[in-house]
A and B are shown apart, each in its own frame.
Chain A
Amino acid sequence: MIEVLLSSPLLTIQDTGRTGWRHLGVPCCGMMDDLALRLGNLLLGNDEGAAALEVTSAPVLLRFLQNSAIVLMGADMQASILEPDFANTRQQRLLTGFVYLLRAGECLRLNAAKTPGQRAMLMVRGGIDVPVVLGSRSTDIMNGFGGLQGRALHAGDKIPVGGHTNKPLPLKTGVRQHSWNHTLRVLTGPDFTRFDQRSCQALFEKSWMVTAQSNRMGLRLQGDSLRPHEPADQPSSRLLSIGVLPGLIQVPPDGHPILLAADAQTTGGYPAIASIISADLWQLAYMTSGTRVRFAKISLADAHGLARHQQQQLQRLRDALRLRGEAA
């Protein structure tokens, strides 16, 4: 068990999210940086998709009620391990991508991200063991199910942790947190040609600022205003809604694009001007109010190639960790 002593807004339990239910209107949810989740879980010998904590803001204070192993990924939250009586800090400035061991009763303190709003992921050996709902342990905050009672964590919550084998953990080697550059590679979408030439150029040439009205459903951007062809020979919204996905860039009539994120609804009617490639989607976890974003156009073949490359990198890590486990 992990006891939450101090919580912060949007501290939630997430895994790789729900698939196979979008036709019933059920969104994916899941860790905003699911690549980091997988890397951390691999290092801990967990199932790659085991549930973990997504930390959106700090400070957070957690007490581990039994001996535990953890990995932090994502934004550096200036984490430290405190002794059970809080009198001493046993370890300061934990690094992301390395395994740390905590003794029963010790506490983990996440102090603050250098850039507020950038997320961190906390993986625990054995994974967070809340009930699986519709194939996932992810918290669906909008619809109130999954995670712990379908909500963000509060002080006083006790989070169950799953069992694990006693295989030794690699304490001296870590995994690299991918560094974000806020440049998202995109494919043009089915409604790209609805927009006038100036708008199509602006999408790739201008930088876009993430506004405060952004959340796990979508990131709203401000910059140029994207306009459909004049005179409007086609309506600025689709007459019929279509199925939509995380990564899609929608443009409502006000001309300010919205990047759909993990909690995005399943259908929508705004024109889809472009989509973020899957290999870059994790970057949305580190885009916060004020972040400047740029879009770079790539081809479908390149997007498929990059997705495959990411899979291969994961596979190499799996193999490397397995070999190390066999050698130990």
Chain B
Amino acid sequence: MSIPDPAISFVTEHGILLEFVAAGSSVIEPALQQRLCQLATLLREHSHTGPLLCDIVTAPGSLLLVLHDGRTARRLLRHAETLWRASAQQSIDARIVTVPVMYGGECGPDLEQAASLCGMSSTKFVERHAAGNYFVQSLGFMPGFAYLGGLDPQLHIKRKDTPSARVAAGSVAIGGSNTGIYPSESPGGWHIIGRTSVTLFDAHAQQPCLLQPGDTVRFIAQKENP
């Protein structure tokens, strides 16, 4: 698979956006996204580029590089290009994170409706959701909220017209072509199909987030009342 050179633009005077997907496209190849996440890690860890950067935000098909000083952009981009080319030769070992989920019932109040919107039984729906290999495209919306790509196209469901006022922490949900997990209680417009008891975000932990951009996620359906 060939990956195009990115379009480069200044979003702010210190923020450079690298876009790897043509405008008008919303499909992200997992291999591309993996390489983007890897580039972000390389840039963060490299001794020539790490000190120039405040932040690197991974989003579907793009990277936002935030510099301490926008005038170092040219230098950073030169290194980024080298690292990007070098990353093509490397095979990527994604970290695999398994997440146990209680599907349906109180934990997944929208499961029945989501299944019927997709024209299948809830058992079949859960089977398909739990069979997927998902990858963390990006985190956003709130700390630790991971947008997971790789959702079975038959399980894509448009977001709710009216968001729920209160979604419980740990809720596993579907919004459009993404699935995701709410790290803490919040309002939300996605369809809630289950819940996990794992902690996704803890500001006071050494590693505040369970999921990092580029990780692979597998859901394991749990039996009721384990």
Contact = CB atoms under 8 A, between A and B. Distances in A.
Given A242-B17, A245-B64, A245-B66, A21 B55 contact: yes
A147 B12 CA distance: 28
B165 interface: no
A234 B13 contact: no
A24 B24 contact: no
B144 interface: yes
B11 A275 contact: yes
A134 B206 CA distance: 9
A268 to B, nearest CB: 8
A15 B185 CA distance: 26
A149 to B, nearest CB: 12
B203 to A, nearest CB: 4
Interface in B14-30: 14-15, 17, 19, 21, 23-26, 28
B111 interface: no
Given A23-B56, A245-B66, A187 B141 contact: no
Interface string B194-211: 000000010110001100
Interface in A272-328: 272, 275-278, 300, 303-304, 307-308
A22 B60 contact: no
B23 to A, nearest CB: 7
A242 B62 contact: yes
A276 B13 CA distance: 9
B11 A266 contact: no
Chain A CB within 10 Å — which of B21, B40, B69 has the most?
Answer: B69
Interface in B177-222: 184, 201, 203-204, 208-209, 212-213
Interface in B48-80: 54-64, 66, 69-71
Contact of B57 (A143, A240, A243): A243
Given A189-B11, A245-B12, A23 B184 contact: no
A173 interface: no
A250 to B, nearest CB: 11
Interface residues of B, number: 47
Contacts of A235: 24
A304 B13 contact: yes
A248 B57 CA distance: 15
B120 to A, nearest CB: 27
B11 A272 contact: yes
Contact of A234 (B23, B60, B71): B23
Contact of A307 (B25, B69, B138, B141): B69
Contacts of B203: 26, 133-134, 140, 143, 145-146
A156 interface: no
Contacts of B184: 143-144
A85 to B, nearest CB: 41
Contacts of B61: 240
A261 B62 CA distance: 22
A36 to B, nearest CB: 20
Given A242-B17, A300-B13, A304-B70, A23 B57 contact: yes
B100 interface: no
Nearest to A142: B142
Q: Which of B21, B59, B209 has the most CB of A within 10 A?
A: B59
Interface string A15-53: 000011111111100000000000000000000000000
16 contacts: A23-B57, A24-B144, A24-B209, A142-B142, A143-B143, A143-B203, A189-B11, A240-B61, A241-B140, A242-B11, A245-B64, A266-B140, A277-B12, A277-B13, A300-B13, A304-B71
Given A22-B57, A243-B66, A266-B139, 9 more contacts: A19-B55, A24-B143, A143-B203, A239-B24, A242-B11, A243-B59, A267-B59, A304-B13, A304-B69
Interface of B: 9-15, 17, 19, 21, 23-26, 28, 40, 54-64, 66, 69-71, 138-145, 184, 201, 203-204, 208-209, 212-213
